[in-house]
Amino acid sequence: MAKRKKNNFWWKDPESHDLWHKELIKKSTTAVEAYEKYLLDELDYLELAKIMRDLRSILPISEKINE
């Protein structure tokens, strides 16, 4: 998972965009399938949150950390 820093600029451009795209597609597909299972009560919210965090870790976004 990507490391979050206080300056909110923790995203680093991937070395291989092809590999990153493949990983993004794989993690996105997993997240959609997990969400469908969650809606059908086949997956609990903690497992869904873990999958969503895994997906978020490769997205080019930052967040403000409230301290």
Quick: pLDDT tens for 51-66: 999 999 888 875 555 4
Per-residue pLDDT reduced to its tens digit, 15-37 = 888 888 999 999 999 999 999 99
Please answer whether residues 26 and 19 qualify as being in contact, where contact means their C-beta atoms are separated by less than 8 angstroms. Answer: no
Q: What is the DSSP string of the chain?
A: -PPP-TTS------S-HHHHHHHHHHHHHHHHHHHHHHHTTSS-HHHHHHHHHHHHTTSS---PPP-
Percent of the chain with pLDDT over 90: 52
> In the prediction, which pLDDT does 5 show?
45
Q: What counts of helices (H) and strands (E) characterise the chain?
A: 2, 0
pTM: 0.70
Is residue 34 within 8 Å of 48, Cβ to Cβ?
yes
